[in-house]
Amino acid sequence: MTATADAPTQTRQFRLPDLGEGLTESEIVSWRVGVGDTVQLNQVIGEVETAKAVVELPSPFTGRVTALLAEPGQVVAVGAPIAEFEVAAGASAKREPNLVGYGAMPEAAGRPARKARSWATAAPAAMHAATEPAAVNAATEPAAVHATTVPAAEPATAPPAERPRSTPPVRKLAKDLGVDLAVVHGSGPKGLVTRDDVLAEVGTPPSPEAGDRETRIPVQGVRKQTAAAMVASAFTAPHASEFLTVDVTPTMELLAKLKASKAFADVRLTPMTLAAKAVLVALRRHPSLNARWDEKAQEIVQYHYVNLGFAAATPRGLLVPNVKDAEVLGLRELAAAIAGVVDAAREGRIAPSDLTGGTITITNIGVFGVDAGTPILNPGEAAILAMGQVRRMPWEYRGDIALREVLTLSLSFDHRIVDGEQASRFLADVGAILGDPGMVMTMV
């Protein structure tokens, strides 16, 4: 209930919630309200972007917005105040809700200590490739609301000073050079501290103006997380790769029949769908590829379920959403699930939980007209399969040369977990199914 003109009021601050996954800062994407607007409890008031996804922020109060303390494009530390509300004075604790799923947050607005995390739950990796399809709610692991109360009759306490505006690379440079950003004058837009500002503080000549000949793009959010995950994966897991070229004409014919059938009339079926089903069948015979390496325990952890990931190129960078317990889904359900998570990732509404916990990944580089490649493992997984372009080309068929639909499969695997024989047999099984879908009858 909002305060009336005659009722006493108080000011409440909304601090940036801890969105989980060890994240310590987020970028304000947009505000859906303005100063003076009246909002209800849990009404969406804005969006923030983390290294995982774009997340909606619900209002922790019913009242009137009196200040928005961060601008779109600004990177804000977890715990820093981002908005103020005027609410009825004397509200009981029951009217100051903890948003469901939100974790604890520091009272101070300073940067919290980073949580320990493993690369098994880091942001996705894999080749820069798109896949087919996806629809998952932007549910996240939000955060408890910490509010400071200021009686309306007294002057509002000034919010804690925020750190100077800068990008993560610039903050790292300043730390390496021993520069206190608080004393640096920012020459960038709206006082943003730039790389040249930091270099000038230590007497290093700024970089020459490049004019229109080059553009510097700050690496942050998903792209920053992906880059870090790729480096970690490439230098911690001994990658090995194998390739298999297959005549998939029977699979393409089956795909056409399924699309024409009433049973699949409202389902998005693609070559990726059938390849995913082939992978799930092959994993039953070769479970060693559905595993991870536990570095601390020096053990192989083999999964008894399959959270099948799909590398998706999105406007925010590479994401790898995964379909949970994919091994129990029928073809129709699998197709819908793939379409759901990939579409959600591309539209920026994927839940962080759908970007973690994957056990094996498929990436479709064929959509770019590419035949083969050596994909990098998604951290914490033992294998990744890349699908190339399905090409119509001359092929040996029944003792003669004919035009056939041909596909190259590329498999990368962690050689600590998977031996060459295991990987080869798995890849051969996937190829056998795609070359003749009826082979599934001999494998289940």
Residues with catalytic roles? 415
Shortest CA distance to 129 belongs to which of 374, 336, 296?
374
Residue 172 has φ and ψ, to the nearest 5°, of -65, -45
Q: Which residues pair with 361 in a beta bridge?
A: 309, 384
Q: Which amino acid is at 342?
A: V
Please name the residues in contact with 58: beta carbons below 8 A apart, sequence gap of 6 or more. Answer: 41, 42, 43, 44, 45, 99, 142
**Residue 217 half-sphere exposure toward CB, CA atoms < 13 A:** 6
Residue 230 has φ and ψ, to the nearest 5°, of -65, -45
- Is 280:327 a contact under the CB 8 Å cutoff? yes
CA distance 317 to 352: 15
Strands 239-247 and 312-314: unpaired
- Is 9:3 a contact under the CB 8 Å cutoff? yes
Residue 276 has φ and ψ, to the nearest 5°, of -60, -40
Residue 161: exposure state from Cβ atoms within 10 A (0-12, 13-18, ≥19): exposed
CA distance 421 to 204: 56
Cα four-point dihedral sign 369, 374, 378, 381: positive
The distance from CA 433 to its chain's CA centroid, rounded to whole angstroms, is: 31
CA–CA distance from 17 to each of 56, 87, 355, 372 (Å)?
A: 11, 20, 20, 43
CA–CA distance from 29 to each of 112, 151, 329, 374, 377 (Å)?
A: 21, 31, 36, 35, 30
CA distance 403 to 397: 9
Q: Give the position of tokens 């003792």.
A: 399
- Is 169:218 a contact under the CB 8 Å cutoff? yes
- Which of the 8 DSSP states describes residue 123? S
What is the three-class DSSP state of 178? coil
